[in-house]
Amino acid sequence: MARLADDLALLFAALSAVQSPEELGQLLEDWLTPHEQEELVLRLDIARRLNRGQTYEVIQAETKASSTTVSRVRRCLTRGAGGYRLVLDRMEPRRR
pLDDT at 4: 81
Which of 54, 47, 31 has its CA nearest to residue 91? Answer: 47
Tens of pLDDT along 4-59?
888 999 999 999 999 999 999 999 999 999 999 999 999 999 999 999 999 999 99
Tens of pLDDT along 55-67?
999 999 999 999 9
Q: How far is CA 21 from CA 12, 28, 31, 84, 89, in A?
A: 16, 10, 15, 17, 17
pLDDT at 14: 96
pLDDT at 5: 82
Residue 1 pLDDT exceeds 80: no
In the chain the first and final C-alpha atoms are separated, in Å, by: 40
Angle at CA 31, nearest 5°, toward 33 and 84? 90
Q: How far is CA 78 from CA 22, 38, 72, 82, 95, in A?
A: 29, 23, 10, 8, 14
pLDDT at 3: 85
Give this prediction's pTM.
0.85
